Structure 1
Amino acid sequence: MSEEINGQAKKIEFKEEGKIKISELPLKIEVAGGSFLHIGAAPSPLTEKKGAIFKVDRTPVIPATSFKGALRHQLELLFAEKADEFAQLFNIPDDKKDLLKPCIPSPRPTKAEEELVNAGKYRKEHCEIKVNEEQINVGNNGICPVCYFMGAAGLMGFLRFSNFYPESEGDIIDQTNIRIDRKTGTAARGAKVEGEQVKPGTVFKGIISIVISEPILEQFGDARKIGNVVIDKWLEHWQETDKEKRAKALIEEILLPAIKNIKMLGGQKSRGAGKVNVEIDG
């Protein structure tokens, strides 16, 4: 399997891990110039820093959960923006386009998220699979396409994420924040907060592993079944029969564009933080 990256044909390699066949997608994340990175950690009782960044053995790290959350958001946007295009690609009838809507992965969405549901952008129910002796319940529309990649309650997805570690020693800057008293115009008493940030230009590297085939998850690109129940109904009508072409289409048409659309990570965005450039690390 090959794909085009930066004008050059790149072969997507597979490797075996026991009975699991995976493809590794190496990524490079660079903190953009004029910005900085702040992915917060719990305050340490051993220091006075209340705005510490996430670290592993004193090294700044982009945790897998942060990148996974950013990728999920971009996948949701992609399916919302390209619903008609994907409906054509996957041969989904006009009366079943709701199959492409992502879910909000929580049984208790916020009021703001409920507005998105009411506006028709998201499904009314979160993805969850319930299996008992009598029946298998995945809802009327099955597992949404985003949860197909990322996983849902009671069901693994096809993607695995590593932490992202700095290419060289990560540069950490001490960051001091002071709240100004509105009346006096001077620093408010006791309002000094010590924090940290990662310098612009810092490069992090990590890997997304795509499970291509696995005895339980079956084949990446196929509509999975439990018993006689199809749980990935958005793939049920796809007329492509070549398994390699199906996997290739999901990678090239969905996964890679979503990855390249990630432009922000972490917190303190109102201060200009979190701007990143994400690239395939060829």
Structure 2
Amino acid sequence: MSNLKVLLDNKELNLSQTKEGNVEIVSINVSITVEDGSFLHIGAAPSPLTEKKGSVFKVDRTPVIPATSFKGALRNQMELLLIKEKDNLKTLFAILDDNLIKPCIPAPNPAKSEQELFSFGYRGKIEDKKYTGHCEIQVDENNVNISELGICPVCYFMGATGIMGFLRFSNYYPGEGDWLVDQTNIRIDRKTNTAAQRAKVDGEQVKPNTKFAGTIEIINKTPQGFEFGQPRKIGEKTIDPWLEKWTEQDINNRKKTLIEKILFPAIQNIKLLGGQKSRGAGKVKVEIRNT
């Protein structure tokens, strides 16, 4: 199986294509470096074996950026990209209806603050106290129930209620080294201007310049007959109408375009991860690597 050749910053990049059982996979290697002058804190539940209440997320005592954290950050950047590049992407994919290219808010009952995003560029609205825009598929023996807008472009990549997306994420592990420093937080008593009693919290930070590595996998072809780059159908119903009118016929060019125009820019736009951002934490550099 030949590699998929794509452009990254005007340089050719070969993405390896492999088979995993009866599933075809395209792998993208990604590194995440904690910026100098910052630190990383992705919190974990307090350990009953230590007194630390601000521990970082670990696997086998090694700090890890969990797949869920990276996926959430990428989803957010992909949403912002679709909103910013709406007109260009409409032209590229021959879309006439603005709503087809807009991202959804992935919740059946978005909060009041989230509802304000409809005017910012997210799809849907509230009708009869129900949100009409989120992506969901319900299939029974006789019907495929889905919004007339179908699955939004972000959920095409990431997945939605009732259907998987085309991306899979690994955890991100650091290289060799000394990654952690202890972190102590103390609340100040406003009256005495000294440390408040029992207000000391011991925690941890991942050091600046720590480098993590992991992968994003594109499910190229699925056992269900879906192929990345093509609109999916269940029965006679197209569930990805935003791809239906695209005039590009070559499947490899379709894949290249989705990767180069949507996936790669969204990955590179990730600049913050984790918590404690008000303290300067979470500044990262995300890079797509050849190997």
Report the TM-score, using the length of structure 1 for normalisation: 0.96
User: C-alpha separation between the residues in 2 aligned to 1:29 and 1:258?
Assistant: 14
User: What is the root-mean-square deviation in Å for CA atoms of aligned residues?
Assistant: 1.2
Residues 217 and 127 (structure 1 numbering): CA distance in 2 closer, same or farther, change over 3 Å?
A: farther
CA contact (8 A) 2:105 2:122 kept: no
What residue number does 1:280 align with? 288
What residue number does 2:140 align with? 132
Task: Give the drift of 1:114.
Answer: 1.2
| AA in 2 matched with 1:220 | F
User: C-alpha separation between the residues in 1 aligned to 2:107 and 2:271?
Assistant: 25
Could you say what secondary structure the match of 1:72 adopts? Answer: helix
| AA in 1 matched with 2:123 | Y
| AA in 2 matched with 1:77 | L
Task: Give the drift of 1:134.
Answer: 2.5
Task: Give the drift of 1:118.
Answer: 4.9
| AA in 1 matched with 2:13 | K
User: C-alpha separation between the residues in 2 aligned to 1:3 and 1:110?
Assistant: 39
Aligned length: 280
User: C-alpha separation between the residues in 2 aligned to 1:92 and 1:122?
Assistant: 15
Could you say what secondary structure the match of 1:10 adopts? Answer: strand
Q: Deviations over 1:147-195 (max 9, x none)?
A: 0000000100000000000011351010000011111111111111111
User: C-alpha separation between the residues in 2 aligned to 1:120 and 1:134?
Assistant: 34
What residue number does 1:3 align with? 6
Q: 2:223 aligns with which of 215, 218, 225?
A: 215
User: C-alpha separation between the residues in 2 aligned to 1:235 and 1:53?
Assistant: 41
Q: 1:70 aligns with which of 68, 73, 77?
A: 73
- What are the within-5 Å matches in structure 2 for residues 24-103 of structure 1? 24-93=27-96, 96-103=97-104
User: C-alpha separation between the residues in 1 aligned to 2:10 and 2:140?
Assistant: 50
CA contact (8 A) 1:59 1:170 kept: no
Could you say what secondary structure the match of 2:220 adopts? Answer: strand
Task: Give the drift of 1:135.
Answer: 1.3
What residue number does 1:192 align with? 200
Moved segments of 4+, more than 6 Å: none
Gaps of 5+ in 2: 126-132
User: C-alpha separation between the residues in 1 aligned to 2:123 and 2:284?
Assistant: 27
CA contact (8 A) 2:83 2:121 kept: no
User: C-alpha separation between the residues in 2 aligned to 1:188 and 1:260?
Assistant: 42
Report the TM-score, using the length of structure 2 for normalisation: 0.93
Could you say what secondary structure the match of 1:218 adopts? Answer: coil
Q: 1:22 aligns with which of 20, 25, 41?
A: 25
What residue number does 1:141 align with? 149
| AA in 2 matched with 1:280 | I
CA contact (8 A) 2:8 2:264 kept: no
CA contact (8 A) 1:29 1:205 kept: yes
CA contact (8 A) 2:8 2:260 kept: no
User: C-alpha separation between the residues in 2 aligned to 1:170 and 1:214?
Assistant: 40
Task: Give the drift of 1:48.
Answer: 1.0
Matched, 1:113 2:121: no
Task: Give the drift of 1:7.
Answer: 4.7
CA contact (8 A) 1:268 1:274 kept: yes
Task: Give the drift of 1:40.
Answer: 0.2
Q: Deviations over 1:205-247 (max 9, x none)?
A: 0000001111225110100000000000110111111111111
What residue number does 2:128 align with? none
What residue number does 1:123 align with? 124
Q: Deviations over 1:111-168 (max 9, x none)?
A: 2111112554333321100011231111010001000000000100000000000011
Residues 192 and 272 (structure 1 numbering): CA distance in 2 closer, same or farther, change over 3 Å?
A: same
| AA in 2 matched with 1:98 | N
